[in-house]
Structure 1
Amino acid sequence: MKTQIPRTGSILISFPTSNTGDRLFSRSVILLAECNSKGSVGFILNKPLGIAISDLIPYIETDLQIYRGGPVESDKVFFIHNVPHLIHDSSPITENLFWGGDFDELVSLLNQGLIDDSNVAFYLGYSGWDCDQLNNEIEDDYWIVDNRPFPSYRLNQLQPEFWRKHLLELDDKYAIWANAAENPELN
């Protein structure tokens, strides 16, 4: 199979792993928010932390879920959204998805109920790679690269089972991975 070249907007899908060092990335779906010759930044889409944004930032008056974005800067909140006309200074990921932007505008929109989980997703930390690291991991079969556009309407569908669904949408040949037990030792 020809290796796909990752780019901004690509989705990385991990294979399941029982390696305890890779547990964070096992069964992960990562959206690359930035991918260039200097490196890559992405957010794990399907690892909810079980806490709401209002638990971390009390002046935000909504209980939107926070996801584990990755191990880098895991003490900072990041966000992706589909409303760049409402949140200025956003960086494009795809035609319909953006990351970052004016946080005060975001808070105001959330508190007024003008946007919801169909418009924005929050991440604690991010996943990052230097210029060659991601390509090496792809060559070593750590990641499947999906360069189809990620539909922004899926922002509120990012639960743990999203990995399995996305893998099966990609190709039936991944069914063995999609249907593998999360912990093979319990088989």
Structure 2
Amino acid sequence: MTSPVPGSLLLAEPPMPDPNFKRTVILICEHTMEGSFGLVLNRPANVKLSEVATIDLPFDATLWHGGPVQPDTLHYLHPYGDTVPGAMPVLNDVYWGGEFDAISDGIASGRLDADRIRFFVGYSGWGSGQLDAEAEDGSWIVMEGTPGVAFAEEDDDLWRQILREMGGEYALLSTFPDDPRMN
């Protein structure tokens, strides 16, 4: 797969010059003529939702960095489909967004499991044609996403793990040092 579509994963090629995207795994949620929207899957924010929420919530959850764009916005991935009005399908059993009240009320009532929802601050965004150009340029490895990767707990090692599983030249890339000057 060379062109991103919703449900694609982007793996940053080493060495990625932008520190916001170094060794990231990004799930593309939307890819249109107007631009693209994705969420970084392997950057925990090391902060809880309750620490940054401006409203009282009946639950708490770990936050993840979705990307450098609008870091004051909240986004979420979940497997709840039609249970959450407005949720957009991204992969089989992976949905993006939807009405936050449905998420909050569902968790409070026990119908939804907060541990199966990943909350992100900010997102990764590209203007019209920008992501296609970057992918064609070789800045990103584009591959088909899977529900398991969307909710993986591997954090920083996810990038390496996926490259190793891809095998061949990709497995070799997984051994690329964080800073080639220190090799």
- Structure 2-normalised TM-score? 0.88
| Aligned: 1:173 with 2:166 | no
In structure 2, how many angstroms separate the alpha carbons of the residues matched to 1:165 and 1:154?
Answer: 14
**1:34 aligned to 2:30?**
yes
What SS does the aligned partner of 1:157 have? coil
- Does residue 146 in structure 1 map to residue 143 in structure 2? yes
Cα distance in structure 1, aligned partners of 2:11 and 2:125: 15
1:7 aligns with 2:5: yes
CA contact (8 A) 1:72 1:126 kept: yes
CA deviations over 1:27-73 (Å, ceiling 9, x no partner): 00000000122211000110111111121126234442211111111
Partner of 1:129: 126
Does 2:75 align with 1:81? no
Measure the CA separation in 1 of the matches of 2:83 and 2:4: 29
Q: Which of residues 43, 48, 68 in structure 1 aligns to 2:44?
A: 48
RMSD value, Cα: 2.0
Structure 1 residues 105 and 158 mapped into 2: Cα distance closer, same or farther (>3 Å)? farther
**2:7 is matched by which residue type in structure 1?**
G
1:121-157 Cα deviation digits (max 9, x unpaired): 111111111221111111111000002x412575142
In the alignment, is the contact (CA less than 8 A) between 1:12 and 1:145 conserved in 2?
yes
Change (3 A) 1:61 1:90: same
Q: 2:152, 2:60 → 1: CA distance? A: 13
CA distance in 1, matches of 2:150, 2:77: 12
**Alpha-carbon distance between aligned partners in 2 of 1:61 and 1:30, rounded to the nearest angstrom:** 29
Could you list the per-position Cα deviations for residues 80-138 of structure 1 after superposition, in whole angstroms to 9, with x for gaps in the alignment? Answer: 11112321211111232111111012112333453132x21111111111221111111
Identity %: 32
- Call closer, same or farther: CA 1:34–1:104 in 2, change over 3 Å: same
Distance in 1 between residues matched to 2:72 and 2:138, nearest whole Å: 29
**Which consecutive residues of structure 2, in runs of 5 or more, have no partner in the other structure?**
none
Report the CA distance between 1:168 and its aligned residue.
1.5
Tell me the residue number matched to 2:66. 69
SS of residue paired to 2:173: helix
Consecutive unaligned residues in structure 1, runs of 5 or more: none
TM normalised by structure 1 equals: 0.87
